[in-house]
A and B are shown apart, each in its own frame.
Chain A
Amino acid sequence: MNHKGTRYLPLVVTVGQVVIFPYYIIWLKEVSLTFTLFAWFFAAFSFAAAWGYQIAQSRTNKDHSYLMFIYAGMGIVYILIGAIKNSSDILPYAVILLQVILGLLQGYFRAWHAEQDTYHLHAVHHYLIVGCAMIGFSFVKIISPVVVITIFGILMCMCAVWELMRNEKKKTIIPGK
């Protein structure tokens, strides 16, 4: 609770994911060929999230969270989405893979986050921050969905680095106590 990383990083991730969600939907709609496929992409995401959630819950050593990899993974996926050109014929095939990875990571993150002391406080804060952020975004008229998605991807990678540094710091403090 006292670590800044535990206090702020999950909030950044939850808020960020909700804020970029509309942009992500627009991107996904553009690459989906039909509504059926669009819906299936989401179903794949959901199944993968359930899987990720269950993996996190079944873990015995919950102190070791792998969070750094979760943040980095999410960041890389979002940056990849930003880098993908819509013109590729294999795009639907790539998208389904990205949906599964993203769902798995998000499910895992949610399971971890729900068990943190900060969770209930974050739940309130994230609604307020998202509300304000979306009002702010409504004034930005021209911005491509992939730009927002990429920026969030970079932010996630920065979170991963922050988490890595925090872990390193924790390791150096614990031996001496």
Chain B
Amino acid sequence: MQTIALLVKKPWFLGSLVVVFVSVILWNIPIEKRKYGLTQSGLVTDYTGLLPERIERVVKAENRSELQRIVKQANVDGQQIAIAGLQHSQGGHTYYKNGVVLDMRTFNRVLEIDERQKTVRVEAGATWEDVQEAIQPLGLALKVTQSQSIFTIGGSLSVNAHGRDIRFGSMAETIKEMTIITPEGDIKTITREDPDEWMKYIFGGYGLFGVIVDVTVDVTENKLYTVQTEKMKIDAYASYFDQLLNDQNMAMHYARVSVAPSSFLDEMYVINYKQTEKRDYVTALKKERSVRLTKLALDIGRHGGALENLFWGTQKRYIASIDGKEITRNNVMRSESTFMEYTKPGRVEVLQEFFIPVHRFEAYMNELKNIIPANDKNEDFKIHNITIRYAAADPFTILNYAKEDMFGLVVLMQHGLKEEQISEATSIIQNWTHLTLDHGGTYYLPYYRYQTKEQFRRSYPQWEKFAEEKLRRDPNNVFQNMFYDYYVK
């Protein structure tokens, strides 16, 4: 104690304390700065924060009967319910003006793993990461999920998500059975063979047809894959992919297109995951790593112009460096996400996804050059990356984006929040959507509503059937959200 008192009297000691403490703070300044989501103060937003809305309250149910009671009571009271998980949907899909938000994050248990049947029964508010943690020690892995494992199961199914796998079809196809609470408050166990076709509307139903309580999902072996990377020109990609699809050794695949001025929509690289015979039980699930470094690289790219060329060059070098490495299936399906956080006041970074038939890819990319500028350094509307995924034809769901085998172009873009900046972004995205539709494509619905109602209806011709079934199955309009209100109602 006396030593401490003596030390405090020394300016060098206090100076060192300041230096050490400041170093600790500098290292711990969080990358994740975003403040969004559910609050009890009554104003909610989702991941972009572009559609703040006042709601009545957020409710959390502790068990199924409580969930059921909430839905039944809403029928009696004329109350509207929106269903929320982690709210990565960006167009007001998880809340509704003056409505109740059902926060499903309390339903997060992995209920049962059947190793023999290779199935997992899990509650809808759990994340894919929760499932991965439960099945990885058993040498099992998911069949289809997004490239990141941060989303809830209920949320992913509600947006009918897809991922890097090119063999198992859509995510919906991997669901054997699910328990839902219907708009009238009944608990139902449904399958794909269900004569009432509930699944057809629940997948890609954006929480408008019922609450997903739990699902039984097919899983597969956690195989070890060899990474194969290649750089190529855009005009070679469609035929390259055809060959790839015929090669049964290839399990997963994605590609990235250059948006750097020097090789804009001309160069791309592909990443394939080739089967090995080895099944993995021991490799740990990978965690977020080198976040500051990857964020710095992305921040450099965000400036556009020569810096974006530099970023693209860095990406190519990195991709070339992982060629030949081995990775487990589970780890392919859990890419890092924190480094992408972007929280500059007055600006927003959003996603859009356009689906284009495989055979139209080259012509489409050539015409796309007329819509987005090659060098966006001095533009307000900037594009940071375009990733390409494969989405196999999905004839099952009602609002299906993959009417045939499609490439999905996942686009990360940024724009300002002033009225004229949003309007400029809207105009560019609408032109882009128009081009996509002209090539027989569609766009994805979980994102912010830049597209017109006419574009929505053209992209999803079955929307009328969707609306009709919504009224038939939910006559009291219990399940509501801002997406439905804007596009369908």
Residues of A within 8 A of B (CB): 33-34, 37, 40-41, 43-44, 47-48, 50-51, 54-55, 58, 86-87, 89, 92-93, 96-97, 100, 104
Q: How far is the CB of A107 from chain B (nearest CB, A)?
A: 9
Determine if B11 and A55 form an interchain contact, defined as CB atoms under 8 angstroms apart.
yes
Residues of B within 8 A of A48 (CB): 18
Determine how close the nearest CB of chain A comes to the CB of B173; give it in whole angstroms. 41
Q: Are A50 and B14 in contact (CB under 8 A)?
A: yes
Contact of B21 with A44 in the complex, beta carbons under 8 Å? yes
Q: A87-B344, A89-B299, A96-B22 are in contact. Are A51 and B30 (CB under 8 A)?
A: no
For B344, list chain A residues within 8 Å (CB).
87, 89
Q: Does B471 reach chain A (CB closer than 8 Å)?
A: no
CA distance A33 to B29 in the complex (A): 8
**Closest chain B residue, CB of each to CB of A34:** B30
The answer to whether B33 and A51 have CB atoms under 8 Å apart is no
**Interface size in chain B (residues, C-beta < 8 A):** 21
Min CB–CB distance A19 → chain B (angstroms): 27
In the complex, chain A residues whose CB is within 8 Å of the CB of B29: 33, 37, 92-93, 96
Partner of B25, one of A51, A55, A96: A96
Q: Which residues of A contact B18 (CB under 8 A)?
A: 44, 47-48, 51, 100, 104
**What separation, in Å, do the CA atoms of A41 and B262 have in the docked complex?**
43
Interface residues of B (CB under 8 A from A): 8-11, 14-15, 17-18, 21-22, 25-26, 28-30, 33, 299, 344-347
* Smallest Cβ-Cβ distance to B23: which chain A residue: A96
CA of A54 to CA of B26, assembled, Å: 24
**17 new A-B pairs (CB below 8 Å) besides A96-B22, A96-B26?**
A33-B29, A37-B29, A37-B30, A40-B25, A44-B21, A47-B18, A48-B18, A51-B15, A51-B17, A54-B8, A54-B9, A54-B14, A58-B9, A87-B346, A89-B299, A96-B25, A100-B18
16 contacts between A and B (CB under 8 A): A33-B30, A34-B30, A40-B28, A44-B21, A47-B14, A47-B17, A48-B18, A51-B11, A51-B17, A54-B8, A58-B9, A87-B344, A87-B345, A92-B29, A93-B29, A96-B25
Point out which of B8, B15, B18, B299 has the most chain A C-beta atoms below 10 A from its C-beta: B18
Which residue on B lies nearest to A43, using beta carbons? B21
Bound Cα distance from A97 to B17, whole angstroms? 14
CA A47 – CA B174 in complex, angstroms? Answer: 57
CA distance A87 to B21 in the complex (A): 25
CB distance from A92 to the nearest CB of B (A): 5
CB distance from B17 to the nearest CB of A (A): 5
Q: Which residues of B contact A33 (CB under 8 A)?
A: 29-30, 33
Tell me which residues across on chain B come within 8 A of A43, comparing CB atoms.
Answer: 21
A48 to B299, CA, bound (A): 31
Chain A residues whose C-beta falls within 8 Å of the C-beta of B345 in the assembled complex: 86-87
User: What are the 4 closest A-B residue pairs judged by CB atoms, nearest first?
Assistant: A51-B14, A33-B33, A92-B29, A54-B11
What is the CB-to-nearest-CB distance from B293 to chain A, in angstroms, rounded to a whole number?
15
Chain B hits for A100, CB < 8 A: 18, 22
- What is the distance, in angstroms, from A72's C-beta to the closest C-beta of chain B? 21
* Chain B min CB distance to A46 (Å): 10
CB-defined contacts of A51 to chain B, threshold 8 Å: 11, 14-15, 17-18
Q: What B residues does A47 contact at CB under 8 A?
A: 14, 17-18, 21
